[in-house]
Structure 1
């Protein structure tokens, strides 16, 4: 079930990357992040109000860890992804997104004692090769002539923050229920985004709340935030952050499928080869022996 939860969460998040690229000129990044998490929090809190009240003492006792989880996983991670989409291209975003599972595996070894076997390193390398094949369309020339920009550094920082969040989820105190933990991180992570979005309006170009923007906000607010985060946290509790993080290499595969179905972008043999490499690498890295 842990593997299935991680796979579904990554499938949903692949759509989030399509929205991040497709709406880069439609709505400012911090505002998009604020609308996303306001939607997720507003939908989720009525269902977890009793869980929050019951676990309030434990939440207060572990408030520092909760605040760090909220800031890394909610406030900053996706906001930085949206900012990165405005200052770099999709190839570089995919390249630096591939560092996230490596960060998670290393941090899981340091803080959780998860063993890094030679087979896991080999699986990581094969999965990265598959991701690069898709991101560069199988062209070594694209990889050799990459130019690095501010957005690349931002994406790298986002990957590290997501790794920190994943480790904190695994270390969730047993006295806090899963619903209360998720509800508290949503609420605490959303609070800083609201004033930040108002400040952004003073500098960002004017934008309008069109039906397309509304649909995008509902998708990233309900599916990519509420549903996917619940599945991701469940996956981490079942199989650990190291194993769950490896499924993030499927994002370029699912994003490519979505672009083919929704945007009419072609699917090539490179995509098939990349999928085989990613699938093989993930299987190798998650096998117990």
Structure 2
């Protein structure tokens, strides 16, 4: 039985979108200091170190992790290896506000994947929600000028973020198809460490490919170290903890609405740290996307 939404639970569910929005801003700030795919690897390597004291038993041969290695290898590929790497790649050419707004289309991908791949029925309300959300995404892509859709040339970052959103939606559906023991699902640090263990393999392979294919370099210094500590301890570990505790209290339906606060926080942070003030079309797109999600989520 889920509890009512209390002030404490509200704080728990508000902290993750704040940290995720900060992740987008920080990723943009350090884009000239470290290659994006390498940033993703370093982020999760530090997160692995943070999680190790909390759930190091997961790596034991008798923990049950290795009997589920295929599942966690796929979850690690989508959630750790692909999603965040694509997000950081997107931030090379797209703004944090655009990236977080594009990520707000994830529920639309979830509906489509659920219908096509998992036999999930789509209601009339959900179809209306899809139309509204797609209109919001289209508004971002055309930068507020609908005539551009006739001769649309996408910024590479927009395409990367669409791919990242698809990967996250598929990852979320696979999470819903639980096959691991109950004690894994009830221990957020163990479940996350299992994914990060395999995700580190994928992200290291992608990072190695990045260094082979481009003239990669890292500008070490306190700004980069501070950024790495934030993106690993905050968005990669603490946000997962708060999100998991919040969902346990009120369920995923109510918690899902809080995820859409990330674009609002990203707009504030971008204005404060990057001087990238949001435009009117950002506000309209935000209303369309969130409105579509609200309509689609109602039963």
Q: Comparing 196-205 with 162-171, which one deviates more in the overlay? A: 196-205
1:166, 1:236 within 8 Å by CA — same for their partners in 2? no
Give the C-alpha shift of residue 127 in structure 1: 4.0
Q: 1:43 aligns with which of 38, 45, 50?
A: 50
The DSSP-based 3-state class of the residue aligned with 1:25 is coil
Hey, what's the Cα distance between the residues in 2 that align with 1:38 and 1:283?
Answer: 36
The DSSP-based 3-state class of the residue aligned with 2:66 is helix
Aligned to 1:190: 200
Give the C-alpha shift of residue 150 in structure 1: 5.3
Hey, what's the Cα distance between the residues in 1 that align with 2:107 and 2:51?
Answer: 28
Give the C-alpha shift of residue 215 in structure 1: 1.9
Give the C-alpha shift of residue 41 in structure 1: 0.9
In structure 2, relative to structure 1, the CA distance for the partners of 1:115 and 1:98 (3 Å cut) is same
Matched, 1:252 2:263: yes
The DSSP-based 3-state class of the residue aligned with 1:190 is helix
Matched, 1:168 2:174: yes
In structure 2, relative to structure 1, the CA distance for the partners of 1:14 and 1:142 (3 Å cut) is farther
In structure 2, relative to structure 1, the CA distance for the partners of 1:93 and 1:279 (3 Å cut) is closer
Give the C-alpha shift of residue 142 in structure 1: 5.1
Alignment root-mean-square deviation, CA = 3.6
In structure 2, relative to structure 1, the CA distance for the partners of 1:262 and 1:136 (3 Å cut) is farther
Hey, what's the Cα distance between the residues in 2 that align with 1:184 and 1:62?
Answer: 10
> What is the TM-score when the length of structure 1 is the normalising length?
0.79
1:243, 1:285 within 8 Å by CA — same for their partners in 2? no
Hey, what's the Cα distance between the residues in 2 that align with 1:149 and 1:246?
Answer: 28
Aligned to 2:83: 77
Aligned to 1:33: 40
Q: Comparing 262-271 with 180-189, which one deviates more in the overlay? A: 262-271
The DSSP-based 3-state class of the residue aligned with 1:62 is helix
Hey, what's the Cα distance between the residues in 1 that align with 2:139 and 2:10?
Answer: 24
1:169, 1:233 within 8 Å by CA — same for their partners in 2? no
The 5 Å alignment of 1:180-219 reads 180-194=190-204, 196-197=206-207, 200-201=210-211, 203-219=214-230
Give the C-alpha shift of residue 20 in structure 1: 2.8
Unaligned runs of 5+ in 2: none
CA deviation map 1:134-160 (0-9, x unaligned): 676643345555313655544333222
1:169, 1:236 within 8 Å by CA — same for their partners in 2? no
Aligned to 1:24: 31
In structure 2, relative to structure 1, the CA distance for the partners of 1:34 and 1:249 (3 Å cut) is same
Hey, what's the Cα distance between the residues in 2 that align with 1:6 and 1:165?
Answer: 20
The DSSP-based 3-state class of the residue aligned with 2:218 is coil
The DSSP-based 3-state class of the residue aligned with 1:191 is helix
